[in-house]
Structure 1
Amino acid sequence: MYDVAILGGGPGGYVAAIRAAQLGLSVVVVEKDELGGTCLNRGCIPTKALVSTAERLHQIKNSAAFGIEVTGYNFNFQKAAERKNQVVERLVKGIHYLFKKSKITLIKGTGKLTGKNEITVETSDGLEKVEAKNIILATGSKPALISALGYDGERVITSDEALNLEKLPAEMVIIGGGVIGSEFATIFSEMGVKVTIVELLPSILANTDKEVSRYLTTLFKKRGIQVKTKVAVKEVKKGEKVTVVLENGEELVTDMVLISIGRVLNTKDIGLEEVGVALGPKGEVLVDEYLRTNVENIYAIGDITSKMQLAHVASAQGIRVVENLVGEPQPMSYDVVPGCIFTLPEIAMVGLTSQEAEEKGIKIITGKFPFQASGKAVAMEETEGFVKIIADFYTHRILGGHIVGPHATDLIGEIALAVQKGLTLEEVAHTIHAHPSLPEAVMEAAEAALNRAIHI
């Protein structure tokens, strides 16, 4: 009997397995596809590989400002796709190496709970039973579909198929303007595809700070990406072309439709009902602050807990569960979780938005510093965007931060640490930042909140 059995080898499952092995526990992981899960194979990593290609295309198109006159270039999408696959393959091999190094048992097959201490796995050689003192469920999620949208995996696709295209369409309609839809809009637009986003809500990236959402919408339109908000899709008709019929009567004729309307939790057919694991209204596995289900010794992490559908949250949950197994249990906190959106420019956020602070009745002050005033950003010719810091009006404690601009996903780490450690505007502002550097914009945003920014 193993100490820990993990159903699912994604960013929650494989990270939990490695930490458990580090702590001296015997571990088995059951995975039906490939280690790394959606994040590594069909999500975070392959999209970022394509974003890197899009960034270089963007740089080439705007190279004249640097005195580099590009008279012509050839974009080979097939080679870009091959590189994306090589990046994924390299990282998957890395996880296999770590499993071997950590003496973690990997069973390839479809697993199902058949007892509170048992998983039955359907492998290519037949059924195999795995027994463990503790079981961690980490089965993740998959793209959500609406049958009326005519999904066929060819001309009406999800993010899964978008990452495996062999040829780019001339035009694409993206249904859904959330994180995934916005990232793919960036990728395909830079690669020469005419992109239209259709979003039911009043804005794209509706869960971000309103200022961030408005800014990106303006940038998208400036770059030729059409954005249609507050409108639903009535149907998708297929003929020689694909026609997206909107509820307002407008028809969008295109070559391909990408459905990006969220994700469905993988909680069906894994034996939850048979073992008595309690589910919530969205099909999520109900867990307490220690990630425990209602069944003793069964835990759940990642997307299926419906806390925050982020790879780094799944990893943090996995680490917390196995550390709790061998030490004094500590609750999981979601107060300081950075979010990253890999558009051009990047977007990152952590902590409270201005709207959330107001809803909580917190009086705030904000400071904003534009990258147009950053020496490093001007030298890089990447001046779009800003850093915005939100702090408590009375204590000046930093409550959140939002960045649109170059390397936003890297810069957010400083604000996340400030929120986590309860730092004040003064403490960030009085920390000497290297010049010229992009992190100076964080310091200046803190100064701006105190009405004493130097460069604006």
Structure 2
Amino acid sequence: MAEHYDIIVIGGGPGGYTAALKAAGLGIKTAIVEKEKLGGTCINKGCIPTKALLHASSIFQALQNSDEFGVSTDFISFDFKKMQNYKKRSVKAYRKEVEELVKAAGVTVIWGTATIRRGRTVEVNGPGGKDYYEADHIIIATGARPVMLKIPGEDLPGVLTSDRLLASDTWNYDRLTIIGGGVIGVEFATIFSALCSHVTILESEAHLLGPMDSEVSQALEEELRRKGITIHCKAKVKEIREESNQGLVCVFEVNGEEQTVRSGQVLMAAGRAPCLEGLMGQDVDLKMEHGHLKVDSEFRTSEPGIYAIGDVAAHTKLAHVAAAQGTYVVEKIGGVGHTIRLSVVPNGMFVKLPVVPSCIYTEPEIASVGLTREAARACSMKVSCGRYSMSGNGKSIITREQNGFIHLVFEEYSGTLVGAQIVCPRATDMISEMATAIANGLTAEQLMLAMRAHPTYSEGIGAAIENYFETKGETKQ
């Protein structure tokens, strides 16, 4: 007889293990099915290893400019293999923390590949063979994987995904071409540019970072170009070919004109696709939409009792989104009040505001939450904005990192904060204040009540609010 669980979570990434931990905390009998390692892409092949390399490369870059701060160095070099070992230690330490949390919570971990059968039965092909489990509820959290563009040459040895690049121990990146100017592309460009690689980004859209605020995208593009990164937007890659003594050659077209760029390696960073291989048995048919599992506002799939969270269902592929959705679903199943908000509709408004922060770990960092000015106006919302250039911020002057700004978007009549875009060091930490403000419907006046320490980057938030009042012809006393 198949062992029974209240909830079976398929996938042990941030969405999966967060859901399992929440369920265990509510006294719900829970199991996770995982085919590789707990932590999923985020810990093992994504967020954590990438940010570890960003940190290591930023130290090397800072040392190259240390003389300005009175710090002299006779010789500076880096060892890419040691950097990768540091990254691996960071990943291992984080994964161990997750493993200990799951064990302490009493969550059962079932190792193997899961296939959903009718009647909410889960077939698991593991090291010991095939086993079957039953559940009242199934939460699919299988995540996504890198995709390769279907173009001639995409299977050449030097054409890599982010997974393969992160696993590399040897340096062969003096010249790197990155296909894709989204979050993954610009973060890897930042890493390898800091390590003195000549980096070229080929982006098919009109600007980097796709749906990000155009002003933010422009600021990032200017900064990347200043660092020596070559950027081609509206670039359609037609072919990758290998030429003797030339390495790899990317052939692309911009405005009808064919161009080429040569490099030792090519990184495919053109997106990710949901991991669905083997997930559904012949007796289960979950509806799809635009290549993702189709879910409703409660993350329910087309099959009763089966939910899908994170990258396998969401178009916003962020670890904290998956974790929030996992918490939401378990709280719904457990019949308890929700402790997290994914969106809000402030009093007196008819527009749903997203409260999920988006973070990009370039230099300077980029973070946003809520609506941009353009998005607000597209929803027929009248807004006023407050803006501050970080060039005059005390902490920015000290650190010589003055290329950035803070842009706050307020609803015209109530002064309620509806969006924020921050470009500066520590932006990814500062955005949490803005997310909290939007989630609680705070106004400009209420935000001004909080004192911000000096000297900090966060003082720029207060200055942006002051600018909002000045723009409206008011003076905040």
Partner of 1:255: 264
Deviation string, structure 1 residues 39-67 (Cα, Å, up to 9, x no partner):
11110100000010122122212212211
Q: For the Cα contact (< 8 Å) 2:406–2:422, is it kept in 1? A: yes
Counterpart of 1:90, as a letter, is: A
2:292 is paired with a residue of what secondary structure? coil
Unaligned 5+ residue runs, structure 1? none
Instruction: Kindly provide the amino acid, as one letter, of the partner of residue 34 in structure 1.
Output: K
Q: 2:19 aligns with which of 16, 25, 29?
A: 16
1:367-393 CA deviation, whole Å, 9 max, x = no partner?
111111111221222222111101112
The equivalent of 1:448 in structure 2 is 467
Output the amino acid matched with 2:280: G
Taking the aligned partners of 1:338 and 1:223, their CA distance within structure 2 comes to 26
CA 1:379 to 1:332, structure 2 compared with 1: closer, same or farther past 3 Å?
closer
Q: How many angstroms does 1:306 deviate by?
A: 2.2
SS at the partner of 1:203?
A: coil
Residues 366, 332 of structure 1: CA spacing in aligned structure 2 closer, same or farther, 3 A cutoff? closer
> Of 86, 91, 97, which residue of structure 2 is paired with 1:88?
91
Q: Deviations over 1:297-338 (max 9, x none)?
A: 111111111242111010001111111111157697341110
Match of 2:323 among 311, 315, 320: 315
Partner of 2:182: 178
Would the aligned equivalents of 1:372 and 1:378 in 2 still touch at CA under 8 Å?
yes
2:300 to 287, 292, 304: 292
Alignment partner of 1:250: what SS? strand
Amino acid at match of 2:41: T
- With 153-162 and 201-210 compared, the bigger mean Cα shift is at 153-162
Residue type matched to 1:158 in 2?
T
Q: What is the CA–CA distance in structure 2 between the aligned matches of 1:4 and 1:446, rounded to whole Å?
A: 46
Q: Which amino acid is the alignment partner of residue 340 of structure 1? A: C
Question: For 1:7, which of 5, 10, 31 is the aligned residue?
Answer: 10
| Aligned mates of 2:258, 2:389 — CA distance in 1 | 40
For residues 341 and 431 of structure 2, what CA distance do their matches in structure 1 show? 21
What's the counterpart of residue 68 of structure 2? Answer: 65
Would you say 1:118 and 2:121 are equivalent positions? yes
CA distance in 1, matches of 2:140, 2:25: 20
Q: Distance in 2 between matches of 1:311 and 1:64?
A: 38
Count of aligned pairs between the two proteins: 453
- Output the CA distance in 1 between the equivalents of 2:313 and 2:52: 28
How many Å apart are 1:149 and its aligned residue?
5.0
Amino acid corresponding to residue 297 of structure 1 in structure 2: G
Q: 2:148 aligns to what SS in structure 1?
A: coil
Structure 2 residue aligned with 1:165: 168
* Distance in 2, Cα, partners of 1:412 & 1:164: 31
> Map of 1:187-202 to 2, 5 A cutoff?
187-202=191-206
Larger deviation: 371-380 or 256-265?
371-380
Structure 2: where are the runs of 5+ without partners? 344-353
CA-based RMSD: 1.7
Q: CA deviation at 1:166?
A: 1.8
Match of 1:283 in 2: 291
Q: Is the contact between residue 60 and residue 77 of structure 2 (CA under 8 Å) also seen in structure 1?
A: no
User: Once the 2 structures are TM-superposed, how far is the Cα of residue 272 of structure 1 from its aligned partner?
Assistant: 6.1
Q: 1:47 aligns with which of 46, 50, 57?
A: 50
Equivalent residue letter for 1:371:
M
Worse-superposed segment, 159-168 or 325-334: 325-334
What's the TM-score once normalised by structure 1's chain length? Answer: 0.96
Is the contact made by 2:324 and 2:342 (CA closer than 8 Å) also made in structure 1?
no
SS in structure 2 at match of 1:232: strand
Q: Deviations over 1:416-439 (max 9, x none)?
A: 111111111122123221111221
Q: After TM superposition, which residue ranges in structure 1, 4 or more long, deviate above 4 angstroms?
A: 328-332
Q: Supply the distance in 2 between the matched residues of 1:150 and 1:128 (Cα, whole angstroms).
A: 41
Identity, % of aligned pairs? 38
In structure 2, the partner of 1:239 is: 243
Amino acid in the other structure paired with 1:430? L
Tell me, yes or no, if structure 1 residue 208 matches structure 2 residue 212. yes
What letter matches 2:59 in structure 1? R
Other structure's SS at 2:207 match = coil
Deviation at 1:401, TM superposition (A): 0.4
| TM-score, with structure 2 as normaliser | 0.92
The range that moved more, 24-33 or 330-339, is 330-339
